[in-house]
Structure 1
């Protein structure tokens, strides 16, 4: 019977660590990136084989952000430490992306740009969150804040907090955004009513509510483009 080679016995060009050193992280496949994070194999499987088994659960790598530690550990070869490494690496990537976006003063001057921006932040969250983009007069991003976690009804109660943040940062306008963990971005009656109430309050405080983005699993909706704002 032929003995299975360990990663240390693979050609240098095929090993995830060495491949990253020589060609950069973008040259690695999804499985190789996960293998680099979990670091080692287990139970006769290499880290790449374990990573491939994990990624076979869903055809969208974004499920790793949604998966809980317990769900990750259901895969043979992934224990507590490996699951924590995966979740920590995803959160680190999210924070780096958010920091870079804020530093570069990203322009959110169209519904399309706003949708792309918030999809990156909210698409794979396991629970509903309400975020707020604070913009200057040129519709450049000042920063993004998470206002609340929960359904849209709880968000309505925090409406004044939304504008408190805008006034504190001298924002000329704001873009509201929340996700639908169900995957369907169709606005509910509560979504529409709450958005209109927040827009009215914004007029009173001289803060322009530019749009409200609802992020789903595969698509998103701009309430401005849909005619609700």
Structure 2
């Protein structure tokens, strides 16, 4: 005879840690995304994979750092990205501390994996922005998804 197994009753909640003012109200372009992410990230010394959730009017609702990596890599799993994205459209972003925003093969691979996961969950992946020293690259504009 087997003993009973206790099952936890849980819920997932977003916890507001702080906030920042976004004067544009809406994200209308990759440039808008870049400027907001740049303000959020400041001058980081390692890769941070960041997700911005947007409402149906493309107004940012929240930003979360999904993973902080090393100087030149950040391991990202789609389930971590999707935690805050279930009820939103998303734009992902990460800086290249080297200053060169050219996408690496790993950047392209995670973008493709995220696009597939978003499609499966009916979440719109609006863009993946890579921030360099004084410029950025939109992986959507470059045709990676």
Change (3 A) 1:142 1:105: farther
Runs (4+) of structure 1 exceeding 4 A deviation are none
What's the counterpart of residue 113 of structure 1?
32
TM-score, structure 2 normalization? 0.80
Separation in 1, partners of 2:41, 2:83 = 23
What's the counterpart of residue 133 of structure 1?
52
What's the counterpart of residue 211 of structure 1?
127
What's the counterpart of residue 70 of structure 1?
none
Query: Which of 104, 125, 141 is residue 225 of structure 1 equivalent to?
Result: 141
Displacement of 1:164 in angstroms is: 1.8
What's the counterpart of residue 21 of structure 2?
100
TM-score, structure 1 normalization? 0.52
Alignment of 1:1-229 (within 5 A): 98-101=19-22, 106-122=25-41, 124-150=43-69, 151-152=73-74, 154-155=75-76, 158-167=77-86, 170-171=87-88, 173-229=89-145
Displacement of 1:123 in angstroms is: 5.2
Q: Judge conservation of contact 1:132–1:162 (CA < 8 Å) in 2.
A: yes
Q: CA RMSD in A?
A: 1.9
Task: Answer with 1 or 2: which has the greater Rg.
Answer: 1
Higher strand share: 2
5+ residue gaps in structure 1? 1-94
Q: Per chain length, whose mean CA-contact separation is higher, i.e. which structure has more relative contact order (CA < 8 Å, sep 6+)?
A: 2
Separation in 2, partners of 1:202, 1:227 = 17
